[in-house]
Chain A
Amino acid sequence: MEFSEFIKTPKVEEAFLEGSCISKMIGSACLTGHHLILYSHSGDNAEHWILHKNVDAIDRRFGNDKCQITLKCKDFETYCLTVLSQEDATNIANSIEVLSSLDNINLQYPFFYKATNSLSESNLGSIEEDFLMISNVSDQWRISEVNNNFQICPTYPQRIIVPKSISDQMIFKSSEFRNLGRFPILSYCHHNGRVVMRCSQPQIGTNNRRCKEDEKLINVVLGSHHRGYIMDTRTQQIALQARSKGGGTETEFNYPQWKKIHHNLSRPSALYDSICKLVEVSRDKGCAVDKWRSRLESSNWLHHVKEVLTASCLVSQCLDKEGASVLIHCADGFDSTLQITSLTQIILNPECRTLRGFLNLVEKEWILYGHPFRERCARSVYSVGKASRDEGPTFLLFLDCVHQLQHQYPLSFEFDGSLLCQIARHTYASQFGTFLCNNELERFTSRVRSKTTSLWSHLLSDDVFPSYLNPVYQPRSDTIWPSVAPQSLMLWGELFTPFVDPSAVTRRCLRSNKLYLHELRSTINELSKEVSQLEEQEEKLKT
């Protein structure tokens, strides 16, 4: 096994582990190819596993009598491992450093992880199901094989839904006109037949190229009388500047049926800076009382949340109130574009607020349509300076927006906040293959889907999903309009400031409300079960 060459000290008998989310442990530390494991000696057989992949940065502090290694993790937690020998400490730190940054996809933990009980295929993101839904509303669509073997767009799936009246040839032309081949494609079809489409920027360039096929492709969606909106998530100025690099934005002259909206959303790199500041503030226990809020404000994170929510609200209004279709793109079409398309669906479509519906949405929008998880989530907040420009918590911002919606409409979601937290953690380090790779082509090449277990299968398995259910869920059929006022936006405490007070009592109290509601729900179920049993008995007596 090739991992062993990186591991000089596989086991240390006496080690201490402290962490912001665990109580202090004393025991032996073991190093494996993928984990640092601490077995407790205290007789309760406790063990704690830290995935190497989760380690973002390592601090070494070596003293004479003990050596401390601080592991700063990508899920914002920090652990402090103390061993006695300096040699052991150096070896462990070096090993973790190497093992946490292995690039070879085939060495990633998901390829080694075997689920304890076989999980059934979740079947999320199925195009047939999607197509069936759309057929109920409109018969203008068909399934196309034009992207077979990813020949026209590597970041789209192989089978796609396209307008019936558009030939594969025209789609091919359109994809040549768009950045990275991401031609306009259906994202969501509202019950009134209006649609949200997404794409990347058109390659207009300095010599004002145009593409008749591309114009036709999006116009056909509108029908003859309707008008639509194109939302560009860059400012007008940036969009125009992009022309010098071969990009650009649709001209009103060539797209007369469309009205342009520019809504500036930040690029991943800006989000990365913001979240670094945010975590710094939220994890700073000693922050002065009268500084906290202004530091929070200067991190700008909640401003980003607000902007994304506002843009999604706007698109939702266009669709629902105005009855107009919307085309959304940024430069590449797989960052802020996806935030808006998916949030719009959550606002408008009650189906996306169910547990399965939400996971389906993430699979469909983010995984299948090519959000580059590998690049965006390679590093986290503790590797400032080391992170590449591609780094950025775009997906995390989306999850935070969902959390805001959930907080504002506590009854409307079938799942609760802990699901979002789980997903957030799995995007950075996971035993599941769901968030590996940048796009479908890469996943296809590495055979991720066949060789790894899916997070969705795990989350949807019978013994897991009940714990993520919202005990006060009340399905509602209409839209939920979020408030984007700062008074309504909350810092996502469960993710950013969890259990800062490490005493066990507090932790129990924190959880109690939710747990408690769960208990109530199950009490109700038991009682109604008993009622029906008794009623049966009574029936028998009667007859």
Chain B
Amino acid sequence: MSMRRTFKLKVNQVLHRPQHHNSAAAASDHDNPLKDIKLAGAYEHVYQLSPSSEVDGLLLPGEITVGHAKEVISYVLHDENRRGTSGLLVCTNFRLMFVTDKPPYCNLIAVDNKLIGPQDVTLSNIETIYIEKQNGKRKKLYPTSRNIKDGIQKLEIHCKDFRILTYSFKLSVLGEGKNIVRAILHHSYPQDSSLSFAMEYISKKASKETSTKEASNISSKVVSLYRKVDDWEKLIMTSQAMKGRWRITSINETFSLSATMPGLFVVPSSLSDAFLKDAIHQYNNNRLPIWCYTHPNKCSLLRSSNFREESVQFQVDQKIRQEITKCDPSGRKIRMMDLNKMCPTLQQVQMSFHKLKTSCMPANEDEYMESDGKWYSTLQTIKWLQFVSCCLEVARTCVDHIDSGLGTVLLIETLGVDWTACISCLVQVLIDPTKRTIDGLSELIQREWIIGCHPFTTRLGILHQPKKSSKFQPESSTSDHPEVCKSPIFMVFLDCLYQILTQESTKVEYTSFFLTSLADGTRLPVFDTFIFNNERERNRTLQQLNQQRTTDIETISIWDWDVQYPHHVQQLFINPLYRCKRFHHLVATTTPPLGGNSIATNDDVTSPNTLDLTTTPKVEKLKSSKKSSTHHRSASDSTCLDTTTSSMTSSSTPHGHKRINSNSYEVPYQPPQGRSVFYCAGDERPDSGRSVANSRSSSTDNMAAEDDEAVVIGLVDQVNSRAPQVAERLRFVPNSANNNNDVIGCRDDDDVMQVKTGVQYLRFWKFAYLRWVSFSQLIGGGESPQVEQENKMADEIVQLASKIEHLEAQLCNGDTSVTSPPPRVDDVTVQFVSSYFPYLAISNKSANKSTLGRVYNFSRKKEGKSTTSASAPSPKIHHHHHHTEGKPPHRPAPLSPAQVAASSHHMVALSEQQQTSEGGTYNRLSSGV
């Protein structure tokens, strides 16, 4: 909803903008909100700038231009008639930027990204570069290519995120094309991560901002980075099951023992540092078994690399296992899971991903449709989904083992940095509800992947390795050795998370957009998160950088989403169903029964009615809750006002999004998502532990966070003192206590997730892999609009609830003249939400075409056949065929004069064919009769 509000604001901005900037565009386009956003955004200040200086305002700190070409035509993605926009193409040390004063014909990304514009591409996103000469010869460029001559007609860039960008230099001055291609080539394949743009960025940014330090930067501090002992302590102290059995060790703090181990990690308490220092070298890649997770039933999950085969000191391994077994008081046997055998190899994954990429990057619509007939068998030969299924299956096996209390699981893998990270994360997501929130998941990824030293640089191919992979086909690369192998394990992991999301969308907080943002984040070298192979590399690089400076520079982590997205975009991370579920938790049932807690047993017991999901019982409960004790009443009334006022002020914030702080916490905790209103009473959000801890004395800190139940106790306590009225009112607390609490609803979130791993239940992640293929999207259909609608419902509930609060308060006071009810937000609906929203926001004009495109398949085929009997249509008309709107077979409809005018307004007329008058077989045929 705030998203929509923002639209309105922005639209207004656009309308109030001085008309001389681009009056025609503003006038003709304000029926298209998405376009207006773009106008109001990055492009606004470009309009009146001269070519030389126009770029400067757009550059990030530390970014420098290294080449440019004027009058370049940027083609619309997958557009059959090669429409495009002319503008300035700039290559910087960070990205390839396309700057134009013309409104973009088609927006690639509908949301504001503070770092890159919708038509920009970062250099680390560039996978392959093709050039086309005047003679039409297409040539692939390699990082080593030197001999680039004049006369480049076209530049085609294939991105790692499956996008294809095409530029033409036919209007630009001779030589400019060559220059910029050289610049791109030179800067796109760095060989050392210390050359990464992130280093430039953070050092320049720091020096710029020391004077104007932003005070409001809280959200980034929410996610623990696990580089300090405190973060780890919080983690292991909060669990009763771990107490005294596990400890944090800092033997590798300087990374002198192992390059691929974290600086801090958790091991059984009984193992001494001295022993570990010896033992560490007995393992492959110098990775000891380290702790990942402990279930309340005291079974744990650990990961390690293989024990060295050549090692003779078997007793070391045995001793470690023994001690791990001792960490489980019941002494259950450890189960070793050899992921080398259970998961596909790195090369297999890379091959599969390469094939996936090929089949999801059709050069044009024809190619896309040609694959129609064999899509399912293609999908099968790609094997991607089989691998995803396999990972989920392995994770499920672990989950079953741990959850049923069969004992501790130790994940083993040759290097211990790939599948172990993936599986251990998945297991924790499936087993532990606190890991299913955005913050919980972020911390998990930070801990298992980043601190766990997954070699991102190598696996994602961020750095160019000159000797081994001068050619880009993974097949031909000789770098099959796992240490240097390129392999998108992280993508497999994200795909697994997506499958979990599709199957159990009420139980996870993240959305598809969050996952793709993570994937894109790996190609955005502004953050220190994904640009190193391990922690030691990161440390050394930063040390070098700091040596030249007086003050230490601060790195930016991807979890600091504020750097990248404005708040309203971050809201798209939150799955509305989860949000509602959390809320509903309070509405329909209540918190689970807590043994020995008087408050809980009085208030938080569900009547059997809650089983019945129909309307009536709830209404009754609603009524009964009104008569709840005065203690509640008064306490909650005060907070009610807070809620209402905060919601009122929130709607008038300049960002236009809701900024309701959850009142149960005194800390100025602001979830980056801004939709915090539900996270209140009885909510076991993982950060709740933190927040509670902050607001209370440190002695209760650990207590409150000891385990889930304790958190709830702490929170229930808080509910009584200052719960937000909204939540309190909706608790539907029946007066008759002591009824059985059923499984449905309340214990739901604590359940271990039952994911179906069979390949027939997995979905192809269209949103990630096909999001740039314009003709495969649905306008107004697909998942995105549904999420939008669910969001609307969630917002409606909040609004109604606060309205009731308000009215009741008025009635209680008997004062009818006080403040007006909270203002209702106008619904400004987004017109062109497509299935890939917020990617590939196609303007209105092309909307129908892209969806109808599929039918052309038929008509063209048909036409091809029928031409044998009827008079053959000219190739021109055949070509024309593709871009006219809503055309039935045999009869290409002409562009209306208005359409022609409108399109030629934005577009460089590239082909006279577009405007050929329309003949067509039909007319000829009928005139003959």
A194 and B385 alpha carbons, distance in the complex (Å): 46
A497 and B613 alpha carbons, distance in the complex (Å): 26
Interface: A166 (CB within 8 A): no
Is B854 within 8 A of A313, CB to CB? yes
- Point out the residue from B581, B748, B810, B855 that lies within 8 Å of A317, measured CB to CB: B855
Residues 368 to 396 of chain B near chain A (Cβ within 8 Å): 368-369, 372-377, 379-380, 383, 385-386, 389-390
Interface: B163 (CB within 8 A): no
Q: Which of B57-65, B246-254, B520-528, B800-808 contacts its partner?
A: B800-808
Residues 847 to 893 of chain B near chain A (Cβ within 8 Å): 848, 851-852, 854-855, 857-859, 862, 885-891, 893
Is B622 within 8 A of A530, CB to CB? yes
Interface: A523 (CB within 8 A): yes
Is A322 within 8 A of B800, CB to CB? no
Interface string of A510-535 (1 = CB under 8 A from B): 00110111111111111111110011
Interface: A484 (CB within 8 A): yes
A229 and B855 alpha carbons, distance in the complex (Å): 16
Is B859 within 8 A of A314, CB to CB? yes
Count of chain A residues with a beta carbon within 8 Å of a chain B beta carbon: 84
Interface: A11 (CB within 8 A): no
A541 and B816 alpha carbons, distance in the complex (Å): 8
A537 and B816 alpha carbons, distance in the complex (Å): 11
Interface: A495 (CB within 8 A): no
Chain A residues whose CB sits within 8 angstroms of the CB of B801 once the complex forms: 527
Is A317 within 8 A of B807, CB to CB? no
Is B778 within 8 A of A322, CB to CB? no
Interface: B786 (CB within 8 A): yes
- Point out the residue from A256, A488, A522 that lies within 8 Å of B778, measured CB to CB: A488
A257 and B929 alpha carbons, distance in the complex (Å): 9
A151 and B80 alpha carbons, distance in the complex (Å): 55
Chain A residues whose CB sits within 8 angstroms of the CB of B790 once the complex forms: 472, 517, 520
A537 and B807 alpha carbons, distance in the complex (Å): 9
A486 and B886 alpha carbons, distance in the complex (Å): 21
Interface: B192 (CB within 8 A): no
- Point out the residue from B753, B793, B925 that lies within 8 Å of A472, measured CB to CB: B793
Residue in A282, A296, A480, A530 with the greatest tally of chain B CB atoms within 10 Å: A530
Is B887 within 8 A of A322, CB to CB? yes
Q: Known A261-B889, A322-B888, A527-B800; judge A491-B754 contact (CB<8 A).
A: no
Interface string of B787-821 (1 = CB under 8 A from A): 00110011011001101100110110010100000
Interface: A411 (CB within 8 A): yes
Chain B residues whose CB sits within 8 angstroms of the CB of A263 once the complex forms: 858, 862
A474 and B903 alpha carbons, distance in the complex (Å): 32
Residue in A259, A490, A505, A542 with the greatest tally of chain B CB atoms within 10 Å: A259
Interface string of A477-502 (1 = CB under 8 A from B): 00011111111101101000100110
A36 and B272 alpha carbons, distance in the complex (Å): 69
Chain A residues whose CB sits within 8 angstroms of the CB of B422 once the complex forms: none
Is B376 within 8 A of A310, CB to CB? no
Q: Known A526-B615, A541-B811; judge A310-B789 contact (CB<8 A).
A: no
Chain B residues whose CB sits within 8 angstroms of the CB of A241 once the complex forms: none
Is B368 within 8 A of A485, CB to CB? yes
Measured CB to CB, the closest approach of chain B to A214, in angstroms, equals 18
Measured CB to CB, the closest approach of chain A to B263, in angstroms, equals 40
Q: Known A481-B779, A506-B756; judge A534-B807 contact (CB<8 A).
A: yes
Is A520 within 8 A of B797, CB to CB? yes
Is B622 within 8 A of A321, CB to CB? no
Chain A residues whose CB sits within 8 angstroms of the CB of B756 once the complex forms: 501, 506
A455 and B424 alpha carbons, distance in the complex (Å): 51
Measured CB to CB, the closest approach of chain A to B905, in angstroms, equals 23
A294 and B381 alpha carbons, distance in the complex (Å): 9
A257 and B922 alpha carbons, distance in the complex (Å): 11
| Closest B residue, CB atoms, query A302 | B376
Chain B residues whose CB sits within 8 angstroms of the CB of A292 once the complex forms: 380, 759-760
Interface: A409 (CB within 8 A): yes
Interface: A408 (CB within 8 A): yes
Interface: B751 (CB within 8 A): yes
Chain B residues whose CB sits within 8 angstroms of the CB of A320 once the complex forms: 886
| Closest A residue, CB atoms, query B380 | A293
Chain B residues whose CB sits within 8 angstroms of the CB of A302 once the complex forms: 376
Interface: B425 (CB within 8 A): no
Residues 596 to 630 of chain B near chain A (Cβ within 8 Å): 613-615, 618-619, 622
Is B776 within 8 A of A487, CB to CB? yes
- Point out the residue from A291, A508, A523 that lies within 8 Å of B587, measured CB to CB: A523
Is B588 within 8 A of A486, CB to CB? no
Is A527 within 8 A of B804, CB to CB? yes
| Closest A residue, CB atoms, query B584 | A519
Is B800 within 8 A of A484, CB to CB? no
Is B793 within 8 A of A486, CB to CB? no
Count of chain B residues with a beta carbon within 8 Å of a chain A beta carbon: 94
A497 and B761 alpha carbons, distance in the complex (Å): 9
Measured CB to CB, the closest approach of chain A to B508, in angstroms, equals 12
Residues 759 to 788 of chain B near chain A (Cβ within 8 Å): 759-761, 763-764, 766, 770, 776-783, 785-786
Measured CB to CB, the closest approach of chain A to B349, in angstroms, equals 15
| Closest B residue, CB atoms, query A505 | B754
Is A321 within 8 A of B888, CB to CB? yes
Is B786 within 8 A of A410, CB to CB? yes
Is B376 within 8 A of A293, CB to CB? yes
A521 and B377 alpha carbons, distance in the complex (Å): 41
Is A526 within 8 A of B811, CB to CB? no
| Closest B residue, CB atoms, query A311 | B858
Chain B residues whose CB sits within 8 angstroms of the CB of A541 once the complex forms: 811, 814, 816
Chain B residues whose CB sits within 8 angstroms of the CB of A482 once the complex forms: 778
Q: Known A409-B781, A480-B781, A521-B793; judge A486-B858 contact (CB<8 A).
A: no
Interface: A343 (CB within 8 A): no
A408 and B794 alpha carbons, distance in the complex (Å): 22
Is B888 within 8 A of A531, CB to CB? no
Chain A residues whose CB sits within 8 angstroms of the CB of B929 once the complex forms: 256
Residue in A306, A408, A523 with the greatest tally of chain B CB atoms within 10 Å: A523
Q: Known A297-B376, A310-B858, A497-B760; judge A512-B506 contact (CB<8 A).
A: yes
Chain B residues whose CB sits within 8 angstroms of the CB of A227 once the complex forms: 922, 926
Interface: B56 (CB within 8 A): no
Is A321 within 8 A of B893, CB to CB? yes
Measured CB to CB, the closest approach of chain B to A521, in angstroms, equals 7
- Point out the residue from B379, B506, B793, B854 that lies within 8 Å of A485, measured CB to CB: B854
Interface: B475 (CB within 8 A): no
Is B588 within 8 A of A519, CB to CB? yes
Chain A residues whose CB sits within 8 angstroms of the CB of B368 once the complex forms: 485
Chain A residues whose CB sits within 8 angstroms of the CB of B744 once the complex forms: 508
Interface: A318 (CB within 8 A): yes
- Point out the residue from A410, A485, A538 that lies within 8 Å of B785, measured CB to CB: A410
Chain A residues whose CB sits within 8 angstroms of the CB of B761 once the complex forms: 493, 497
Residues 614 to 664 of chain B near chain A (Cβ within 8 Å): 614-615, 618-619, 622
Measured CB to CB, the closest approach of chain B to A269, in angstroms, equals 22
Q: Known A487-B770, A531-B800, A535-B807; judge A520-B855 contact (CB<8 A).
A: no
Interface: A44 (CB within 8 A): no
Residues 306 to 354 of chain A near chain B (Cβ within 8 Å): 306, 310, 313-314, 317-318, 320-322, 324
Chain B residues whose CB sits within 8 angstroms of the CB of A501 once the complex forms: 754, 756
A537 and B780 alpha carbons, distance in the complex (Å): 41
Question: What would 27 A/B residue contacts be, using CB atoms closer than 8 Å?
Answer: A261-B862, A289-B386, A289-B389, A290-B383, A292-B760, A294-B377, A296-B376, A317-B886, A322-B887, A324-B888, A409-B780, A472-B786, A476-B780, A483-B778, A485-B372, A487-B770, A490-B763, A513-B505, A519-B613, A520-B790, A522-B614, A523-B618, A524-B796, A527-B804, A530-B804, A534-B807, A538-B807
Using A322-B886, A324-B888, A524-B796 as known contacts, list a sample of 16 further A-B pairs with CB atoms less than 8 Å apart, ordered by residue number in A.
A256-B926, A259-B891, A292-B759, A317-B888, A408-B781, A410-B782, A411-B780, A481-B848, A488-B776, A488-B778, A497-B760, A501-B754, A501-B756, A509-B754, A513-B506, A530-B804
10 nearest interchain CB pairs?
A321-B886, A486-B375, A527-B800, A297-B376, A534-B807, A293-B380, A409-B781, A481-B851, A293-B376, A256-B929
